[in-house]
Amino acid sequence: MPYVVVVTPPGEILPLDDVKRHLRVDHDDEDDLIEGLIQAAVATLDGPDGWLGRALGEQRLELRSNGFPVGCDGAIDLPLQPRTLVSVSYDDVAGSAHLVDPADCKLHGAGVYARSGFSWPSTACRPDSVRILYDAGTNDVPKPVLAALKLMIGDLYRWRETTAPIAGASVPMSTTVEMLLAPFRVWRG
């Protein structure tokens, strides 16, 4: 089963000063706490495991799979709205690593396609024998998403004991937050 890993995470999505203004915090005593809350809220929405099913902020991702699709025209679907194909590499049946010539494949929409007349090569039988490096996301995060993030952070800040984020846990979302985010959610099958 293909899976995606974050190679280069996005930069700052929401500046600390903006969040502090939203929270009406005018001191620096809780900056570390607020930074942690920002990270927890962004992680809940962003990337391969995020609720939105899209990349917030420019980031480099790698899809890893156990093989190429069968046939010369089989597409490889890339999640999280890819912008640029960086490279396609694979391990052959003997385990040697190779790069696919960029002229032999192209990104079209959310799929990587082999050029006409080129067949995807045979690969080693491993979960990561095919690796597709690509860029996704944008630094132009929609304003409703930023507003939803601020509301999530506000809830975490005000109700620390009942909504404290722990490693691997997601941040609870209010109905208002879900309504702000719904138009931007990409449903995965």
% helix, strand, coil for the chain, step of 5: 30, 25, 45
Residue of 116, 101, 18, 14 whose CA lies nearest to 56? 14
CB 171 within 8 A of CB 122: no
Q: What pLDDT is recorded for position 154? A: 94
Question: For residues 166 and 145, which has the higher predicted lDDT (pLDDT)?
Answer: 145
Fold (CATH) for 11-56+139-184:
Hypothetical protein yqbg (1.10.3230)
Q: What pLDDT is recorded for position 75? A: 87
Q: What pLDDT is recorded for position 166? A: 53
Using a 10 angstrom Cβ sphere, with 0-12 exposed, 13-18 middle and 19 or more buried, the burial of residue 67 is middle
**DSSP states of 69-102 as a string?**
PSSTT--EE-SS-EEEEEEEEEE-TTS-EEE--G
Using a 10 angstrom Cβ sphere, with 0-12 exposed, 13-18 middle and 19 or more buried, the burial of residue 124 is middle
pTM value is 0.84
Place of tokens 């962004």: 42
Give residue limits of the domains in the chain.
11-56+139-184, 59-136
93-145 per-position pLDDT tens digit: 999 999 999 999 999 988 999 988 888 999 998 889 999 999 999 889 999 99
Average pLDDT, the chain: 90
Place of tokens 């941040």: 171
Q: Give the three-state DSSP class for 186.
A: coil
Alpha-carbon distance of 82 to 59, in angstroms, equals 10
* DSSP 8-state secondary structure symbol assigned to residue 120: P
Q: Does the pLDDT value for residue 71 go beyond 90?
A: no
Q: What does each C-alpha distance from 107 to 65, 82, 83, 94, 118 come to in angstroms?
A: 17, 8, 8, 28, 15
Residues contacting residue 59 through CB under 8 Å, at least 6 positions apart: 6, 7, 8, 9, 10, 47, 135, 136, 137
